[in-house]
Amino acid sequence: MTTLSLADTVQLQQLIFFVFAVGVFVGAICTGFLTTLKNLVFYHFDQPTRIRTNNGYLYRFRNKYVPLAERQNLMKQAIEQHRALKNGK
């Protein structure tokens, strides 16, 4: 049977603390990533991009549900505004 000297136990304690600290750090990063991933998935199901109605479909554009023709017009306006800002007009 082997015995540990005082220096060995100090080194073992430092190693255990280092492993614990790295585990806490990596766990925090993984928890944040998984929480973000979960929120993205739940947001997709909470607010769908298309809703079926009796008259057809409603599409989400900037958190409003509008018919397809209105959505296309709103998208064209948004693109034109973006291009105007980009070109500095």
- pLDDT per residue over 7-60, tens digit each? 889 999 999 999 999 999 999 999 999 999 999 888 878 888 888 999 889 999
Q: What is the pTM for the complete model shown?
A: 0.50
CA distance 53 to 64: 15
Q: Say how many CA atoms lie within 13 Å of 46 toward its Cβ.
A: 7
pLDDT at residue number 23: 97
- For the chain, the average pLDDT equals 90
The domain segmentation of the chain, as residue ranges, is: 1-46, 49-89
| pLDDT of residue 63 exceeding 80 | yes
Separate counts of helices (H) and strands (E) for the chain: 2, 3
pLDDT at residue number 46: 80
Q: Compute how many other C-beta atoms are within 10 angstroms of the C-beta atom of residue 58.
A: 19
pLDDT at residue number 1: 59
